[in-house]
Amino acid sequence: MTVGLFIPCYVNQFYPNAGIATLELLEKAGVKVVYPMRQTCCGQPMANSGFEHLTKDCNELFVRNFAEFDYVVSPSGSCVLHVKDHLHSEKREDQAQAIRGKIYELVEFLTDVLQIEQLPARFPHKVGLHQSCHGLRGLHLSQMSELVAPTFSKPEKLLRLVQDLELIPLSRKDECCGFGGTFCVAEEAVSVKMGKDRVADHLQHEAEFITGADMSCLMHMEGILRRQKSNVKVMHIAEILNAQEIG
Amino acid sequence: MKTEPTKDHAALAHRFNQDEPRVNWHDETLWFIREKRDRAAFAIPDWELLRETASQIKFHTLSNLSQYLAQFEANAQANGITVHWAADAREHNQIVHSILQQHGVTQMVKSKSMLTEECHLNDYLEQHGIEVIDSDLGERIVQLAKEPPSHIVLPCIHLKKEEIGDIFHMHLGTQAGVADPQILTETARQHLRETFLTRKAALTGVNFAVAETGEFVVCTNEGNADMGAHLADVHIASMGIEKLIPRRADLGVFLRLLTRSATGQPITTYSSHFKMPRPGHELHLVLVDNGRSVQLGREDFRNSLKCIRCGACMNTCPVYRRSGGHSYQSAVAGPIGSILAPNLDMKKHADLPFASTLCGSCSNVCPVKIDIHNQLYKWRQVIVREGYADPKKTVGMKAMNLVLSSPKTFTLSGKAGRWFMKTVPFLVSNKMNPWYKHREMPQPPKESFGEWYRKNRKPHE
């Protein structure tokens, strides 16, 4: 099995450790991983702003980069959902469709494809899990609080495999953090207020770390935490699942 | 009369957020209702089946709307109801006015009807010398405050009880400083009782109209629709053409969903069926299109017409809770308003589909399973395509596409983070970076993932 590793543009540029942890987790699981060097972005920032018609070049590039792999895996629910819902190609539509069927967010790839039941990880901290909306309601990584249906959570299942990690509860377990792509600047006031409220929920429950499967939400909350001079850190779930803190 | 907006949702939401404790109060009040909704929904094991059933009944009805409208009209007329057709808001208002004129009525009592808000009926009638008193308590409060409702089910949810006390003091003669809900409600009750007893004409909304019987159903908690209709000589009911359901048997599905979704109650206190006028009285029904048939023709958006106006999407919406209903500048605010309003006036409401993070909670609480957040995404594409986007944004997006579609430019755009530092978040005016106002910028690492990979693995070019 060969996996094409898709590292979203802003993760590549700002959060390389999330990418490195993703790569290492997959390699430790015995997967052959290839990172196509010519990748850039899935096009979501433009599409969510109403400019999906401008994403054709991004899409063609994406198809050229990732068509050859058995699976495409990415540490971002939001980017994966965008590809799943919107990837098209004028030249190779069959390959675009195939990618839409074989692209996975990291957590669901670990639980559903690799069916990971054990992790040699240790992270002795109190951790709050932020359920990013696109992973939650788009990819169904967890059960959504609005639906009358049995509960489950793929990220929680993995975090429970980490030694000495204490998962804290939240008052609102799946409220949006307010990042929302360009929403974070176009609707600055509401975005910030949503972020402050989400962070406050984690702080009230004494989280030391806020984690999640989408670095964009974490980047937004990190900006708020650092402005508040809080000691609480954000960390992508891949880094926690790959953590080897010595006790 | 509502004037052309001079500020968009973001600007009005910014203003709303100047008073943070008030935002907290607004958010918590509506979240409390979302939680009540959850408890009511979770008490019904087949809740999701119920939603699916309702969604399919509405889909079927909308797919055969002209046939059901004809059936409904014939049955209603056979029952003795006078049926009117209004192509738009203006025609609706004219019809209502002409009925009142025929009876020499200059004062009318009206129960809750979002359709009349959509048509700005009150303003129209007042301009023609007719006084309208809203009999729903929340509606009456915002009417006295000279404000539009901020929520379709909870019209004055943006007001605190002390503020309502001030309004009552000013208009209904309560003592200054009295904010006890029981005293205020009793005052309103006496005030409205006098209104009910003296009005010759009453207007109500319609929640559901049954094609097979020609009857319509009005749901209220206060019984104010019944008080108005039963005491007046002329009852006028205004309904959007999408309010139809085929059979009486379908009604149970919707009544079980409506109030559980809206307020967490099992059912409204009153679900009143109106089928025929009482002897010697008149019952008029105005069927209003006002853009609905256009929306029906928009394949991507026609499901928005399934809406039964429960307001659940507003209560769950993290943006609505923190921006307030008035920031939407539309009779129907919140997520559902944001997919309905652009159909009525795309230019005026071009901001609304962007007033969302696309979190998707709205679609999950919707009792008729409207894919609200997907429609918000689709409206964004339409609004940009039709040329209603900010030209600066268009330039920025094109520049962004140039970088992101070229691996070479993307890599050459600099050491880790340099291009993003200049453009994050996503190419908006940087001279006053709105990200930085209340958030620190991400710290650029010493190398990007790509650079790290090149050093530590065998690159696959």
For B29-61, the pLDDT digits (tens) are 999 999 999 999 999 999 999 999 999 999 999
Q: Does residue B297 fall inside a structural domain?
A: no
Q: Which residue of A has its CA nearest to B429?
A: A185
Q: Do B442 and A219 touch (CB under 8 A)?
A: yes
Q: Say how far apart CA B125 and CA B120 lie, in whole Å.
A: 9
User: Per residue in B175-192, pLDDT tens?
Assistant: 999 999 999 999 999 999
Question: Mean pLDDT in chain B?
Answer: 93
Q: Which residues contact A115 (CB under 8 A, 6 or more apart)?
A: none
Indicate the angle between helix axes A56-66 and B391-404, nearest 10 degrees. 20
Q: Say how far apart CA B139 and CA B153 lie, in whole Å.
A: 10
Closest CA to A62 of A82, A86, A34, A42: A42
User: Per residue in B235-259, pLDDT tens?
Assistant: 999 999 999 999 999 999 999 999 9
Q: What is the pLDDT of residue A144?
A: 98
Question: Mean pLDDT in chain A?
Answer: 96
What are the start-end ranges of the E strands in B244-325? 244-245, 270-274, 282-288
SS3 at position A211: strand
Query: What's the angle, vertex CA B250, arms to CA B248 and CA B253, rounded to 5?
Result: 130
Do residues B138 and B282 both lie within one domain? yes
Residue A7 touches partner B, C-beta closer than 8 Å: yes
Please say whether the beta carbons of B35 and A173 come within 8 A.
Answer: no
How close does chain A come to B396, measured CA to CA in Å? Answer: 10
SS3 at position A36: strand
Tell me: pLDDT of B455 over 50.
yes
What is each CA distance from B172 to B150, B175, B179, B202, in whole angstroms?
A: 22, 9, 13, 22
Do residues B82 and B208 both lie within one domain? yes
Question: Residue B417 sits in which domain range?
Answer: 392-456
The predicted model gives B322-343 an average pLDDT of: 97
Chain B residues with CB-CB distance to A47 below 8 A: 377
Do residues B286 and B396 both lie within one domain? no
Q: What is the pLDDT of residue B390?
A: 79
Q: What is the pLDDT of residue B421?
A: 61
Closest CA to B223 of B136, B285, B284: B136
Tell me which of B61-65, B293-297, B401-405 is least confident: B401-405
What are the start-end ranges of the E strands in B326-408? none
Q: Say how far apart CA A91 and CA B190 lie, in whole Å.
A: 72
Residue A28 touches partner B, C-beta closer than 8 Å: no
Q: Which residues contact A72 (CB under 8 A, 6 or more apart)?
A: A3, A4, A5, A6, A66, A83, A99, A102, A103, A104
Q: Does residue B406 fall inside a structural domain?
A: yes
Q: What is the pLDDT of residue B404?
A: 80
Q: Say how far apart CA B378 and CA B384 lie, in whole Å.
A: 10
The burial of B268, by beta-carbon neighbours within 10 Å (0-12 exposed, 13-18 middle, 19 or more buried), is given as buried
Closest CA to B208 of B171, B262, B251: B251
Place of tokens 């405050």: B145
Domain boundary among B290, B307, B331: B290
Q: Which residue of A has its CA nearest to B410?
A: A40
Q: Do A133 and B354 touch (CB under 8 A)?
A: no
Residue B45 touches partner A, C-beta closer than 8 Å: yes
The predicted model gives B54-78 an average pLDDT of: 98
Q: Does residue B317 fall inside a structural domain?
A: no
What is the DSSP track for B412-443? HT-STTHHHHHHTTTT---TT-TTTTTSPPPP
Token readout for A143 is 């059960």
As a whole number of Å, the end-to-end CA separation of chain B is: 63
Q: Do B453 and A181 touch (CB under 8 A)?
A: no
Domain boundary among B253, B268, B290: B290
Chain A residues with CB-CB distance to B380 below 8 A: 48-50
Q: Say how far apart CA B351 and CA B345 lie, in whole Å.
A: 11
Assign residue B239 the CATH number of its domain: 3.40.50.10420
- Please provide residue B247's backbone torsions phi and psi, each rounded to the nearest 5 degrees: -125, 160
Interface test with A, best of B8, B338, B359 (most A CBs within 10 A): B359
The helix or strand, by DSSP H or E, that contains position A123, with its residue range, turns out to be: none
Residue B400 touches partner A, C-beta closer than 8 Å: yes
Whole-model pTM: value is 0.95
Q: Does residue B35 fall inside a structural domain?
A: no
Q: Do B457 and A224 touch (CB under 8 A)?
A: no
**Number of helices (H) and strands (E), helices first, in chain B?**
22, 10
Tell me: pLDDT of B87 over 60.
yes
Q: Does residue B372 fall inside a structural domain?
A: no
What is each CA distance from B248 to A209, B82, B211, B213, B216, in whole angstroms?
A: 54, 21, 8, 7, 10
Q: What is the pLDDT of residue B363?
A: 98
Closest CA to B36 of B173, B145, B172, B153: B153
Do residues B60 and B191 both lie within one domain? yes
ipTM of the modeled complex = 0.97
Q: Which residues contact B252 (CB under 8 A, 6 or more apart)?
A: none
Tell me: pLDDT of B411 over 80.
no
Q: Which residues contact B42 (CB under 8 A, 6 or more apart)?
A: A148
Residue A122 carries which DSSP code?
A: B
Tell me: pLDDT of B417 over 60.
no
Q: Say how far apart CA B159 and CA B163 lie, in whole Å.
A: 6
User: Per residue in A33-45, pLDDT tens?
Assistant: 999 999 988 999 8
Q: What is the pLDDT of residue B443?
A: 83
Q: Which residues contact A112 (CB under 8 A, 6 or more apart)?
A: A104, A154
Q: What is the pLDDT of residue B426?
A: 46
What is each CA distance from A101 to A65, A77, B222, in whole angstroms?
A: 16, 15, 52
Q: Does residue B403 fall inside a structural domain?
A: yes
What is each CA distance from B136 to A54, A201, B19, in whole angstroms?
A: 49, 36, 29
The proportion of chain B whose per-residue pLDDT surpasses 70, expressed as a percent, equals 94
Strand partners, A211: A129, A235
Q: Do B404 and A176 touch (CB under 8 A)?
A: no
Residue A124 touches partner B, C-beta closer than 8 Å: no
Q: Do A185 and B425 touch (CB under 8 A)?
A: yes
Q: What is the pLDDT of residue B423?
A: 58
User: Per residue in A184-242, pLDDT tens?
Assistant: 989 999 999 999 999 999 999 999 999 999 999 999 999 999 999 999 999 999 999 99
What is each CA distance from B431 to A49, B383, B427, B435, B440, in whole angstroms?
A: 21, 26, 11, 11, 16
Domain boundary among B290, B313, B341: B290
The burial of A228, by beta-carbon neighbours within 10 Å (0-12 exposed, 13-18 middle, 19 or more buried), is given as middle
Please say whether the beta carbons of B320 and B352 come within 8 A.
Answer: no
Q: Say how far apart CA A33 and CA B375 lie, in whole Å.
A: 37
Q: How far is CA B67 from the centre of its chain?
A: 27
List the 169-188 stretch of B: residues with Cβ below 8 A of A: none
Among B358, B397, B442, select the one facing A180 at the smallest CB separation.
B358
User: Per residue in A124-157, pLDDT tens?
Assistant: 999 999 999 999 999 999 999 999 999 999 999 9
Q: What is the pLDDT of residue B293?
A: 97
List the 295-324 stretch of B: residues with Cβ below 8 A of A: 316, 318-319, 322-323
Chain A residues with CB-CB distance to B359 below 8 A: 133, 137, 176, 180
Token readout for B346 is 């795309």
Token readout for B158 is 């943006």
Q: Do A176 and B400 touch (CB under 8 A)?
A: no
Residue B439 touches partner A, C-beta closer than 8 Å: yes
Q: What is the pLDDT of residue A244?
A: 87
Please say whether the beta carbons of B409 and A57 come within 8 A.
Answer: no
Q: Do B410 and A190 touch (CB under 8 A)?
A: no
Closest CA to B211 of B242, B248, B239: B248
Q: Say how far apart CA A230 and CA A192 lie, in whole Å.
A: 16
How many domains in chain B? 2
**Where do the domains of chain A lie, and which CATH numbers do they carry?**
2-113 (3.40.50), 126-241 (3.40.50)
